[in-house]
Structure 1
Amino acid sequence: MTTTGEERTTALTGPWWWARWRSAVLDGSLALVSALECAAEGIPFARDAGIPVSVGIVFGLLAGSVLLLRRKWPIAVVLVAIAITPAQMGFLMGIVGLYTLAAAELPRRIIAALAGMTLVGTMIVTFVRVRQDMARGDLTLGDWFVPFASITTSLGLTAPPVLLGLYVGARRRLMESLRERADSLERELQLLAERAEERAEWARNEERTRIAREMHDVVAHRVSLMVVHAAALQAVARKDPEKAVRNAVLVGDMGRQALTELREMLGVLRSGNGAQRRAASASVPPASVGVPVAEPEADPRSDEDEAAAEGPYLAELDVLIGQSAAAGMVVDLSVEGDARSYARAVEQTAYRVVQEALTNVHKHAAGAKTHVRLAHRVSEIAMQVENEPPPELSSASAARLPSGGNGLLGMRERVMALGGVFVSGPTDAGGFRVSAVIPAV
C-alpha cells in the first residue's frame, strides 16, 4: 500500500520546518560541527585581522550555526559560506550548503550562479593563500603549483557536492513522481473495482429481471388458460359431460406444456452457464482489456437446454391463438406482408407480446372478441392485439384471474431493449389495444 500525499503531509511530526525529528537532529549536529569548525578557524583569523580572539570565536560560532537553516534557506547558507571564504572559514558549511542547494527544487540558473561564485571565491582565496605561503618560504615548489592548487582545491570543494546534490534531487523527484503515479494507479484501481462491483450488481439485477420476465411469460399464459378451462369445466360438468372431458384434456395439456417450459428454464438456471457468461461479460473492468481470459469449456447439453428455453418462434403463433380459441375466445388473426425468419430475439419478443396481450384479454376481458394483426415490413415487424369490450356475463368471467401488473411492463422492456416502440392503452370503443414495432435488423 502506497502513502498518499495527504497522508505524508499529516505524517510531518518534526519541529518547525523539519518533516521528522531525525532530520532536525542531523541538521543540528551538522550546525554544531560547523560552528566549532568556524570557531576554531576564527582564532587565526582574529590574530591576522588584529582583533580580539574572543570576537573571532564568537564570529565563527555565529557564522557556522547558520548551517542549521540549510533546509529552509539554502541560498542564505551558501551566501554566508561565500562571504566568510576570505577568512578561510566555513569549509563544511560551504560543502553541505552547495549539496543542499543543488538538491533543492530551485531554478538551475540560481544553482549555477551560486556554485560559480563559490568556485571563483575558493579559487581566489586558495591562490592568494598559496602565494603567501610560497612567499614566506613555507612551500618551495615552482610557480606552476599556485594555479594548480587553486584550481584543484576549488573544484574539489565545489564540484562533488553540486553533482551529488543534483543526483539526489533528481532521484528524489523521480521517486516522488513514481509515488504520485502509484497513488493515481491505486485510486484508479479502486475506482475500477467500484465500477466492476456496480456493473456486476447491475448484471445481477438485469438477470433477475430477465428471469422474472421469462417466468411470467411461461406461467401467466398457460396458467391463465388452465384457470379459464377449469372455470368452464365447472360450469358444464353436469350439463355437458363430453365438453367437460374436452376441457379437462385441455387443462391437462396446458399443465404439461407449462411444466415442460418451466423444467427447461430451470435446467438453464441450474447449469448457470448463460447467466454466468452475461454477468462475467458485464462485470469485467476496462483495466483487463488485452489480458487473455480462459474461456470455460462449452457444454453441448447445457447449450441445448438454453436454446430450448430461449422461447418459441413466430411460426408457433397459430398454435398460441388456437389455444386461446379453445378456451372460448374469438380470435381473428390477420397477417400482412411475406413471412420470413428474423433474429432469435426479435421472434421471441414478438411472440411474447402477442402471448401476454392474449393473456391480459383472458384476465380482464374474458369472452371479448380479439383481433391480432401481424405486419412483415422491410426493416421491421409490427404487431397489434386489440380486444372489443367484454360481454357483461360469460362463463369465463367466473375465473377471477389475478393480475400482478407486470405484463405490460415486461412487454415494454422487451420491445425497448431491441430499439422498438411499444404503446398500450384503452380504445374509444371500450376495449384495449397493445401495439409494438420491432426493428428487424
Structure 2
Amino acid sequence: MEELVRPWRLGPRGRWWFDVLLAGTLFLIIPFYAIQVMLNGGAARDVDSSSHVADLVLVVLQLVPLLWRRRHPVIVYAIVAGACGLQVLLIDYPLVSQVSFPIAVYSVARYARPRWGLAALAVGLLGSVLGTHDWLSSVGTASTGEVQDGINWSSYVPVALSLATFPVAAWALGALARTRAAYVDSLIQRNEQLRREAEQRAELGATQERARIAREMHDVVAHGLSVIVVQADGARYAAEQDPALAPKALETVAQTAREALAEMRQLLGLLRDGDALTRPQPRLGDIATLVEETRAGGMELTATLPEPGLAVPEGVALTAFRVVQESLSNVRKHAGPGAAATVAVTAAGDTLEIEVTDDGRGAAADASGDSGGLGLIGMRERITAHNGTLETGPAPGGGFRVYATLPLIGLAQ
C-alpha cells in the first residue's frame, strides 16, 4: 500500500522560533512609533512619562504572552484580552501591539476546543464595540473641546464593523486550520490502520500458506516413506530368496526417495523468503503415475481414472491427487500384507468423485488414519476448503473406504 505523504509542518523548535520572531518583530515596532511621536513634539497628544510607562506595560502584556500561544492558547488569550481592556480604560489611542489580539483569537480557535474559540470571538466582537466607542469619543472631545452627547451612528457603525472584521477573520482562519489539521490527522491515522490491516492479512496469508505446506509435507513424506518401507522389506526378502529381484526393488526405493527428497526441498524452499516452486504441482493426470508407482511397490491395485486431458481447477486436481496419495499410504500402513485396493476417480456432471477402498484390516486400525492423526484430518481440511465432502469408515464386506466429492463449479480458479 502506498504510504500517505504527510504535509510539511514546523517542528516544536521551529514553532517556538516562529513565535519568538513574531512577538519580537511586533515589539520592535514600538520604539520607532515612540520616536516618531517624540519627534513630532507631542502634537497629536500630550506625551508624558506616565503615558510612556502605561504604553510599555500594555505592550509587554499584549506581546510577550504570544510566545506561549500554542501550548496555552486560552491563558494567553485571557492575558492579551485583559491588556486590551486595560488599554480602553487607561489610554484613548490605539497601539500597534493591538495586533496581538487577533493573533490570540486565531490561536484559541486553532489550538483550543471549539467552544473556547467561540467565546474568544464573542469577546472580540464586544471589544470592537467598546473600543470604537472609546476612540470616537476621544476624537470628538479632542476636536471640539467638549464631551459629545449621544453617538454619531454614521461614523460609529463603519468603524465598529471594520474593527470586528479582525477577530472574525482570525477566528475563521483558526477554525479552518484546526478542521484541516484534524482532517489530515484522520487521513494519516486511517492510512496507518489500513497499513496495519494489510500487514495482518499478509501475516495471516503466510500462516495459512505454511499450514498448507505442512499438509503437503505430510503427504509427501508419508507416501514416500511408506513406499520405501514396503520396497525395502521386499528387497530384504528377495535378497534371501531370489537375489535377482533385489536390484529392481532397491532401484524403486532409490527413485522414490529421490522424488520425495526433491518435493521436500521444493516445499521447504517456500518457507524461505524469495524462493518459489520450480516444478508444477501434481495434476489430475499424475494420479496414473501414482498408481503405477504403487503397483511397482507390490500392491495389487485396480484403478478407474478419468480420460487424460479432463479440465478441472488446479486446486481440485491437487486435492484429488493428495486424497488418493494419502489413502494409498494408509492402505500400505494399516491394511496389512497382501491387501488389495481399488481407486476410482470419476467426473459425474459438476462433481469429481474419488473413492479408494481396500479389503484389508484397515477398519480395525486407528480411525485417524495414522498414528499422528494428521492423515485424514489434513485430507478433510483440503476437501472442506473446496466445499467438498468426505466419508471414511469400514467398507461393506471388510476393509476401509474413503469417499470424497469435489464440486467443479463455483470455485475460484
TM-score, reference length from structure 1: 0.59
Deviation at 1:192, TM superposition (A): 2.1
Deviation at 1:40, TM superposition (A): 6.8
User: Residues 41-440 of structure 1 correspond to what in structure 2 (within 5 A)?
Assistant: 105-106=117-118, 122=133, 130=140, 151-156=154-159, 158-262=160-264, 272=274, 274=276, 306=278, 308-311=279-282, 313-335=283-305, 340-367=310-337, 368-390=339-361, 403-427=371-395, 431-440=399-408
Contact 2:389–2:406 (8 Å) recurs in 1: yes
Q: 1:38 to 1:336 in 2, by over 3 A?
A: closer
Q: 1:35 to 1:268 in 2, by over 3 A?
A: closer
SS state at 1:340 partner: coil
Deviation at 1:130, TM superposition (A): 4.8
Aligned letter for 1:357? S
Aligned residue number for residue 143 of structure 1: none
TM-score, reference length from structure 2: 0.62
Aligned letter for 2:357? E
Equivalents in 1 of 2:137, 2:153: separation in Å? 5
Aligned residue number for residue 42 of structure 2: none
SS state at 1:386 partner: strand
Contact 1:337–1:376 (8 Å) recurs in 2: no
Equivalents in 2 of 1:216, 1:261: separation in Å? 11
For each residue in 1:231-272, what CA deviation from the matched residue of structure 2 results, as whole angstroms up to 9, or x when unmatched?
222234312323334322322332233344445556777783
Contact 1:122–1:154 (8 Å) recurs in 2: no
Deviation at 1:212, TM superposition (A): 2.2
Contact 2:238–2:244 (8 Å) recurs in 1: no
Contact 1:126–1:150 (8 Å) recurs in 2: no
Equivalents in 1 of 2:285, 2:308: separation in Å? 13
SS state at 1:423 partner: strand
Q: 1:235 to 1:131 in 2, by over 3 A?
A: closer
Equivalents in 2 of 1:386, 1:159: separation in Å? 97
Contact 1:349–1:414 (8 Å) recurs in 2: yes
Equivalents in 2 of 1:363, 1:194: separation in Å? 46
Aligned residue number for residue 142 of structure 1: none
Deviation at 1:383, TM superposition (A): 0.4
Contact 2:284–2:318 (8 Å) recurs in 1: yes
Deviation at 1:110, TM superposition (A): 8.0
Count residues with an aligned counterpart: 325
- Structure 1: runs of 5+ lacking an equivalent: 3-13, 42-87, 140-145, 275-304
Deviation at 1:404, TM superposition (A): 3.4
Contact 2:301–2:341 (8 Å) recurs in 1: yes
Equivalents in 2 of 1:360, 1:242: separation in Å? 29
Aligned letter for 1:164? F
SS state at 1:382 partner: strand
Equivalents in 1 of 2:165, 2:180: separation in Å? 22
Contact 2:284–2:321 (8 Å) recurs in 1: yes
Deviation at 1:419, TM superposition (A): 3.0
Q: CA RMSD in A?
A: 4.8
Deviation at 1:340, TM superposition (A): 1.9
Contact 1:338–1:376 (8 Å) recurs in 2: no
Equivalents in 2 of 1:200, 1:259: separation in Å? 29
Contact 2:105–2:170 (8 Å) recurs in 1: no
Equivalents in 2 of 1:224, 1:126: separation in Å? 107
Aligned letter for 2:358? N
SS state at 2:330 partner: helix
